[in-house]
Amino acid sequence: MPRLTAEWTGDIEEIRRLASQRAGTFDAAFARRFTAHFPTLHPLFVTLYGERDDGLEQLAAVIAEAAASWNERPLELKARDDLREQEPDWYLSNQMLGGVCYVDRYAGDLRGVRDSIPYFEELGLTYLHLMPLFESPEGNSDGGYAVSSYRHVNPALGTMQDLSALAADLRLAGISLVVDFIFNHTSSEHEWARKAVAGEPGYEDFYLIFPDRTMPDAYEQTVREIFPDDHPGSFVQLPDGRWIWATFYHFQWDLNYANPAVFRAMAGEMLFLANQGVEILRMDAVAFIWKQLGTPSESLPEAHLLLRAFNAVLRMAAPSLLFKSEAIVHPDEVIEYVSLEECQLSYNPLQMALTWEALATRDPRLLQQALERRHALPAGTAWVNYVRSHDDIGWTFADEDAAELGIDAYSHRRFLNDFYVTRFPGSFARGVPFQENPKTGDARIAGTTASLAGVEAGDPAGVDRVLLAHAIAMSTGGVALLYLGDEVAQLNDYSYVDDETTAGDSRWVHRPRRPAERYDQRTDAATDAGRVYSGLTALIRARQGTPEFAGGELIGFDARHPSVLAYQRPGADAVILVLANVGDDPALIDPLTLSGFSSAATDVLSGDEIDLARGLALLPHGFVWLRATPR
Ligand code: GLC
Ligand code: GLC
């Protein structure tokens, strides 16, 4: 077998020949896409795998897989591909509203999710992220993030046919299906894992297995511990005494992407999911996929090359699929994953964490700074803005940003952890610690939005804080993502400690079952559920009617008030001016501060006309979205 060369003109014919041997002659559409995207894929493969004897063979196998997958792609999805090609900015629209839920906890099974579609439409969802739903180990499976087969749905939830039928129903309702692509690791029960441990030819190098502690010790000099409650370091011992790389739980084994066979196999799994009708893949734990001795083995350049290579494969065989990055890391690193060539969408963990920071401190400066400095993205890409996810909240702001404001990052993180886990006197929050690491002092926190915001503690401002946090997430652009159940103010569920499969992982505190009772109260304005629901649905409606909220362009505004966050979202003729008071007292914005705008403005939430020449008064934890015209 010849090897990869840096000159793709030689390789391309060989690859076309090898791939057609396996997948038949390329049809015209695939041939076009192959010609367009092979020049991107080839040099990436050369850089990643040029040294390997099997580089060319594996690349040909990837192309064969892509061609076969294209041939099997349902016509309906090919039609969708064409539609998206004509409207490539579809996900930048101000109509984009996401919801996320666990299939079992929220709806029982996939059929239950289907039955919820009318509610999702009522809410205005255009995007539904179903938490991991694949076959995974009995008992603790990290909520499904340990995948035993990417081609089989967990039988308790349904079948792959149910999933593609659901995707089709969602499509009809204008909702894009989002699932996780858990590609950094598989479960220890995956067929590949069993074969690797057994030393079956072709699988030995699928994972990182070492005979003794020499290499693990060397790697651990520079990698961070992610789940120290489960096991120290990043390796676990196999029954035969060898050591295997496991960044997260001991049963989640990291794949070895230095082996092109792993890339090829995972490209196949990715295309399979795309053909089920999934429209967005959430790229799980993306920062961890490439390892190198002597480095933190997070966000290495090769991680980006791998994403580019996966994208090139997608553009050949499932062109409308998008990637969403899950990189919960330093903001300088988060942004590196966001581009049309890598992840078109990304969680915005900085804005999320700093929203909670501002609520705790009543000081919006760090958030204001982040919005002014770290919000801009490459054209055509978007943030996914959220108030909280199924994961813990970590204080991933940049130390140097904090230092500029005179804030010491280390002690500030300690304060925030204490504040949110009821170790700070007078705190309104009811959260619990996650993965406190006594060696490093590091910790994160867990809790539902309502519990963290004060509703559980009975704080009179709790509901207002829930709405304020969402008013920020829904007005900074991109996709706004709701954790389903939070729209009815669901509270922490402490029963996770009674179940041995969840007891060791405090994130379960904020993953309650669908709060049926609170949903029943959602039209009752006398309840917290009703107040949050009516407030949130008003925000959603107003956002849908506000084209200025499309895209992500954002310009800061100086409200000249110590507790008021302020920014503008420019539109064609006017801007939306957002003012949000994170303080406990009313805030007055004087007329002079607003004098850069014509005096006639409109409150897009109430429809009321506002006279800016009279200044503005914001309630404690109050906010406004104003359509104003710069003079
Ligand atoms: C991601 C998931 C998290 C999971 C981890 C390991 O960070 O969001 O829930 O524990 O990956 O798969
Ligand atoms: C995952 C984990 C989270 C951790 C992060 C590290 O998101 O769930 O706890 O902080 O990875 O990148």
Tens of pLDDT, residue by residue over 131-172, are 999 999 999 999 999 999 999 999 999 999 999 999 999 999
**Which helix (H) or strand (E) covers residue 616, if one does?**
strand 616-618
Instruction: Kindly report the protein residue whose alpha carbon is nearest to atom 12 of ligand 2.
Output: 328
Distance 284 CA to ligand 1 centre (A): 6
Q: Are 224 and 205 in contact (CB under 8 A)?
A: no
Using the atom order of ligand 2, give the atom closest to the CA of residue 329. 12
- Alpha carbon distances (Å) from 466 to 145, 153, 174, 453, 460: 28, 34, 27, 6, 12
Q: Which residue has the tokens 């006279």?
A: 611
Q: Are 565 and 469 in contact (CB under 8 A)?
A: no
**Confidence grade of residue 2 (pLDDT, cut at 50, 70, 90):** confident
What pLDDT, on a 0 to 100 scale, did the predictor assign at position 345?
Answer: 98
Distance 548 CA to ligand 1 centre (A): 34
How far apart are the C-alpha atoms of 599 and 594, rounded to whole Å? 8
Radius of gyration of the chain (CA): 25
Q: Give the domain 553-628 fold.
A: Immunoglobulin-like (2.60.40)
- In sequence order, the 6+-apart residues with CB closer than 8 A to the CB of 60 are 14, 15, 18, 19, 22
Q: Are 404 and 369 in contact (CB under 8 A)?
A: yes
Instruction: Kindly report the protein residue whose alpha carbon is nearest to atom 8 of ligand 2.
Output: 391
Distance 374 CA to ligand 1 centre (A): 24
Distance 306 CA to ligand 1 centre (A): 19
| CA-closest candidate to residue 144, choices 501, 449, 463 | 501
Q: Is 610 in the pocket of ligand 2 (CB under 6 A)?
A: no
How far apart are the C-alpha atoms of 466 and 450, rounded to whole Å? 6
**Can you tell me the mean pLDDT for 425-438?**
95
State the virtual CA torsion across 322, 325, 326, 331 in degrees, nearest 10: -160
Distance 328 CA to ligand 2 centre (A): 6
Instruction: Kindly report the protein residue whose alpha carbon is nearest to atom 3 of ligand 1.
Output: 391
Asked whether residue 352 carries a pLDDT value surpassing 80, the answer given is yes
How far apart are the C-alpha atoms of 408 and 443, rounded to whole Å? 16
What does the mean pLDDT of the chain come to?
97
Q: Is 392 in the pocket of ligand 2 (CB under 6 A)?
A: yes
Distance 326 CA to ligand 2 centre (A): 9
Q: Is 229 in the pocket of ligand 2 (CB under 6 A)?
A: no
Stretch(es) of the chain classified as CATH 3.20.20.80: 88-96+107-346
Asked whether residue 396 carries a pLDDT value surpassing 90, the answer given is yes
pLDDT, tens digit (0-9, with 9 covering 90-100), for 192-211: 999 999 999 999 899 999 99
Asked whether residue 10 carries a pLDDT value surpassing 80, the answer given is no
What pLDDT, on a 0 to 100 scale, did the predictor assign at position 4?
Answer: 87
Using the atom order of ligand 2, give the atom closest to the CA of residue 287. 12
Q: Give the domain 88-96+107-346 fold.
A: TIM Barrel (3.20.20)
Q: Which of 145, 396, 505 to mutate to test the pocket of ligand 1 (most atoms within 8 A of CB)?
A: 145
| CA-closest candidate to residue 175, choices 99, 110, 104 | 99
Instruction: Kindly report the protein residue whose alpha carbon is nearest to atom 10 of ligand 1.
Output: 142
**Confidence grade of residue 440 (pLDDT, cut at 50, 70, 90):** confident
Q: Is 436 in the pocket of ligand 2 (CB under 6 A)?
A: no
Counting ligands in written order, the one closest to the CA of 508 is 1
Residues belonging to the chain: 631
Angle among Cα 416, 421, 424 to the nearest 5 degrees reads 65
Catalytic site includes residue 109 = no
Q: What percent of the chain has pLDDT over 70?
A: 100
What pLDDT, on a 0 to 100 scale, did the predictor assign at position 7?
Answer: 76
Counting ligands in written order, the one closest to the CA of 283 is 1
DSSP track, 87-102: -TTGGGSTT-EEEEE-
DSSP state of 328: -
What pLDDT, on a 0 to 100 scale, did the predictor assign at position 9?
Answer: 73
pLDDT, tens digit (0-9, with 9 covering 90-100), for 458-471: 999 999 999 999 99
Distance 556 CA to ligand 2 centre (A): 30
| CA-closest candidate to residue 431, choices 439, 443, 440 | 443
| CA-closest candidate to residue 359, choices 278, 302, 404, 420 | 420
How far apart are the C-alpha atoms of 132 and 147, rounded to whole Å? 8
What pLDDT, on a 0 to 100 scale, did the predictor assign at position 439?
Answer: 85
Amino acid at 373: R
Q: Which residue has the tokens 């969602």?
A: 170
Q: Which of 184, 185, 224, 226 to mutate to test the pocket of ligand 2 (most atoms within 8 A of CB)?
A: 226
Distance 145 CA to ligand 1 centre (A): 6
How far apart are the C-alpha atoms of 38 and 134, rounded to whole Å? 31
Query: How many CB atoms are located within 10 Å of the residue 17 CB?
Result: 10
What pLDDT, on a 0 to 100 scale, did the predictor assign at position 110?
Answer: 98
Give the distance from CA 356 to its chain's centroid: 18
What are the tokens at 114? Answer: 């289907």
How far apart are the C-alpha atoms of 300 and 304, rounded to whole Å? 7
Q: Lowest-confidence range among 98-107, 225-234, 237-246, 285-294?
A: 225-234
Strand partners, 385: 480
Catalytic residue chosen out of the listed positions 189, 284, 357, 548? 284
pLDDT, tens digit (0-9, with 9 covering 90-100), for 544-558: 999 999 999 999 999
What pLDDT, on a 0 to 100 scale, did the predictor assign at position 6?
Answer: 78
Using the atom order of ligand 1, give the atom closest to the CA of residue 328. 7
pLDDT, tens digit (0-9, with 9 covering 90-100), for 517-529: 999 999 999 999 9
- In sequence order, the 6+-apart residues with CB closer than 8 A to the CB of 607 are none
pLDDT, tens digit (0-9, with 9 covering 90-100), for 487-521: 999 999 999 999 999 999 999 999 999 999 999 99
How far apart are the C-alpha atoms of 129 and 335, rounded to whole Å? 22
What pLDDT, on a 0 to 100 scale, did the predictor assign at position 47?
Answer: 96
Using the atom order of ligand 1, give the atom closest to the CA of residue 184. 12
**Confidence grade of residue 457 (pLDDT, cut at 50, 70, 90):** very high
Using CB distances shorter than 6 Å, the residues near ligand 1 are 142, 145, 182, 248, 284-285, 326, 391
- Alpha carbon distances (Å) from 629 to 299, 311, 614: 42, 41, 16
How far apart are the C-alpha atoms of 422 and 424, rounded to whole Å? 5
Instruction: Kindly report the protein residue whose alpha carbon is nearest to atom 4 of ligand 1.
Output: 145
Stretch(es) of the chain classified as CATH 2.60.40.1180: 553-628
Asked whether residue 340 carries a pLDDT value surpassing 80, the answer given is yes
Instruction: Kindly report the protein residue whose alpha carbon is nearest to atom 12 of ligand 1.
Output: 145
Counting ligands in written order, the one closest to the CA of 389 is 1
Instruction: Kindly report the protein residue whose alpha carbon is nearest to atom 11 of ligand 1.
Output: 285
What are the tokens at 264? Answer: 């090829």
Q: Which of 227, 334, 392 to mutate to test the pocket of ligand 2 (most atoms within 8 A of CB)?
A: 392
**Can you tell me the mean pLDDT for 275-301?**
98
DSSP track, 100-131: EE-HHHHHSSHHHHHHTHHHHHHHT-SEEEEP
**Which helix (H) or strand (E) covers residue 542, if one does?**
helix 528-544
DSSP state of 171: H
DSSP state of 212: S
Strand partners, 448: none
**Can you tell me the mean pLDDT for 433-439?**
91
Q: Is 316 in the pocket of ligand 2 (CB under 6 A)?
A: no
Catalytic residue chosen out of the listed positions 11, 81, 230, 326? 326
Counting ligands in written order, the one closest to the CA of 225 is 2
Q: How many CA atoms lie within 13 A of 146 on its CB side?
A: 22
| CA-closest candidate to residue 286, choices 342, 326, 226, 331 | 326
**Confidence grade of residue 234 (pLDDT, cut at 50, 70, 90):** very high
How far apart are the C-alpha atoms of 249 and 146, rounded to whole Å? 9
**Can you tell me the mean pLDDT for 377-396?**
98
Phi then psi dihedrals of residue 304, to 5 deg: -70, -40
**Confidence grade of residue 105 (pLDDT, cut at 50, 70, 90):** very high
Q: Are 625 and 603 in contact (CB under 8 A)?
A: yes
**Can you tell me the mean pLDDT for 167-190?**
98
**Can you tell me the mean pLDDT for 358-368?**
98
What pLDDT, on a 0 to 100 scale, did the predictor assign at position 615?
Answer: 97
What pLDDT, on a 0 to 100 scale, did the predictor assign at position 13?
Answer: 86
Catalytic site includes residue 326 = yes
pLDDT, tens digit (0-9, with 9 covering 90-100), for 561-604: 999 999 999 999 999 999 999 999 999 999 999 999 999 999 99
**Can you tell me the mean pLDDT for 331-348?**
98
- In sequence order, the 6+-apart residues with CB closer than 8 A to the CB of 405 are 365, 366, 369
What are the tokens at 135? Answer: 């076959």
Using the atom order of ligand 1, give the atom closest to the CA of residue 142. 10
What pLDDT, on a 0 to 100 scale, did the predictor assign at position 187?
Answer: 98
**Which helix (H) or strand (E) covers residue 564, if one does?**
strand 564-570
**Confidence grade of residue 108 (pLDDT, cut at 50, 70, 90):** very high
